[in-house]
Every structure is written in C-alpha cells, then in structure tokens.
Amino acid sequence: MSPNQYDLEKLWDEHLACEFTDRDADETVATMVDLPYVNHIPTMTGGRGKIELRDFYRDHFISKLPADTRTVTISRTVGESRLVEELVFCFTHDTEIDFLLPGIAPTGKYVEVPTVAVVDFVDGKIASEHIYWDQACVLVQIGLLNPEGLPVCGVESARKAVDRTLPFRAL
C-alpha cells in the first residue's frame, strides 16, 4: 500500500490513546513498526526498537505521567507519510518525570509547555517520533531557571502559542 492509503491522523490518535488514556506500553508499541525510533530532542530520551521502547514507555514515560496530564492541540498537518502536531503539554510536576525532567524531584508546580511532534509512518505504523519542546519554558515554570535577564519565557510562551491575540514581548 502507498502511504496515502492510511489515515495517519487516526493512527496517531490511536497511538496517543494507548499512551495517555489506556497508559499501556504494550499497546503503544503495537502501533509501531518493528524497529521504531523515538527521540525527545531536549532531553535525548526515548529509544530504538520495540523492546527498548516498550521498556521506555513502561518505566520512564507512561508510568511517570502525572495524573492530570493533558494535551491541547494547536495545529496538525498531515502529509503522505508524516504528521506534525503542535500542542501544549500540561501537567502538575507532582512526580519525577523521567523523559521531561530526568533527575528533578517533583516541585508541585503546574506547567504548560509548547511542544511539537514530528511523526513518520511506514505501512500504517509509526516508524519514528521526534518530539520537541521548549525546555527553558519548563525550567522557568518549575523554578529552576530565573528568566530575569535571559531571552526565555515561562507559561506565557505556551499561552501565546494558543492565543494569537496576546501581546508579543517588548523589544
């Protein structure tokens, strides 16, 4: 089958449901090719291959998602074999989140972070994911980075991504 014979949006939604709703590592990996690849770019976490990724999803991603985790889709672009989703990832940092803040103890702070997922598909399965987010925005919101004097933002960065009517930073 050619790539455009698959509903990539439906396949991606099924994958996300396995991660965030069902919270099942085996179901998540079942949506992927035999040698999938996931890279969370800011922290270089993820894995390669079904066994490594199943362990990653089970031990470091799904099991570490805060209970109030939610995503807000801003935009989604679908091509023949690639999907790009812009979203805001929201959560309370009430547990150590290995993939996002490895080694950082919970702060109890609520976080909203602009995120982009670039997902490649082969034969109706996910082949790779590159996930990008604004790590400085996260660190500002949990209190590990003081934005004063730095060209970084906190939650206002995520809110501006959703609401185009909010003001820009003064230069």
Three-state DSSP class for 159? Answer: helix
The pair of structure tokens assigned to 99 is: 């993939």
Q: How many CB atoms lie within 10 A of CB 58?
A: 16
Convert the pLDDT of each residue in 85-142 to its tens digit: 999 999 999 999 999 999 999 999 999 999 999 999 999 999 999 999 999 999 999 9
Instruction: Identify the helix (H) or strand (E) that includes residue 71.
Output: strand 70-78
| Per-residue pLDDT reduced to its tens digit, 31-83 | 999 999 999 999 999 999 999 999 999 999 999 999 999 999 999 999 999 99
Look at residue 115 and give its three-state secondary structure: strand
Domain spanning 3-162, CATH architecture? Roll (3.10)
Which residues sit opposite 126 in a β-bridge?
32, 121
pLDDT digits (tens, 9 = 90+) for 149-168: 999 999 999 999 999 999 99
Backbone angles phi, psi at 58, to 5 degrees: -70, -45
Across 79-111, b (16+ Cβ under 10 Å) vs e yields eebebebbbbbbbebeeebbbbbeeeeeeeeeb
Q: Where are the domains of the chain?
A: 3-162
CA distance 83 to 77: 6
- Both tokens of residue 111? 């976080």
**Considering the entire predicted model, what is its pTM?**
0.92
**Rounded to whole angstroms, how far apart are CA atoms 32 and 122?**
9
